[in-house]
Amino acid sequence: MRLLDGAVLLNELGIDHLKNAAVLGAMSDDAIAYLLKNGRIHAFHKGETVVKAGDPSVSFFIVLKGSIAYYQASNDHSEHIFDFHFGEAVGFVSMIALTPWPGTAIAANNSYVLEVTTDLFYALHCEKPLDFGVLLINLSRELARRILTLAKTVAELKKADQ
């Protein structure tokens, strides 16, 4: 893993491309640039660990390029349950819940991710409250979709058990 300069990456990917990210959609150009310039941009090679089960949840990550595989810890093993792709956020739920990471996130391929720490999240709230509201709506929408998918999966599993 290596850190990248947010301003350089912003020029490389382009603001229009980043506005297509689900989590960043409808945010102002200024707010997206603010997040990239003030957040930490990590470049991961395929197979590198982004975060592991039990780590403190002091941030969440937005996939800017590539994908992140998420493995949920369960008793004495981990189970792959989801891949996060461009524009999706991983770790927001744990950060908001103030719980340690319940699973492990690993780069599924070479990836760039933006780390949004609790400090940056709060600073965005203070400095750009309208964009912060949009970010919260985007994160909530993504979370709601995951809950709906989970509910459907549970229902299908219950039906299969009958």
The pLDDT tens digits for 23-49 are 999 999 999 999 999 999 999 999 999
Output the pLDDT for position 157: 92
Q: What's the one-letter identity of residue 21?
A: A
Beta strands in the chain (DSSP E): 2-4, 40-44, 49-51, 59-65, 68-74, 77-84, 89-90, 103-107, 111-117
Q: Is the pLDDT of residue 73 over 90?
A: no
Q: What is the mean pLDDT of residues 123-138?
A: 98
Q: Are 150 and 93 in contact (CB under 8 A)?
A: no
Residue 110 neighbours by CB under 8 Å, 6+ apart: 43, 44, 45, 46, 65, 66
Q: What is the mean pLDDT of residues 74-97?
A: 95
Output the pLDDT for position 147: 93
Q: Is the pLDDT of residue 94 over 90?
A: yes
- Parse the chain into domains and list their residue ranges: 2-161
Give residue 76's pLDDT band: very low, low, confident or very high (50, 70, 90).
confident
- Percentage, residues of the chain above pLDDT 90: 96
Output the pLDDT for position 28: 98
Q: How far apart are CA 87 and CA 80, in angstroms?
A: 20
CATH 1.10.1740.10 is the classification of domain 2-161: no
Residue 43, SS3 per DSSP: strand
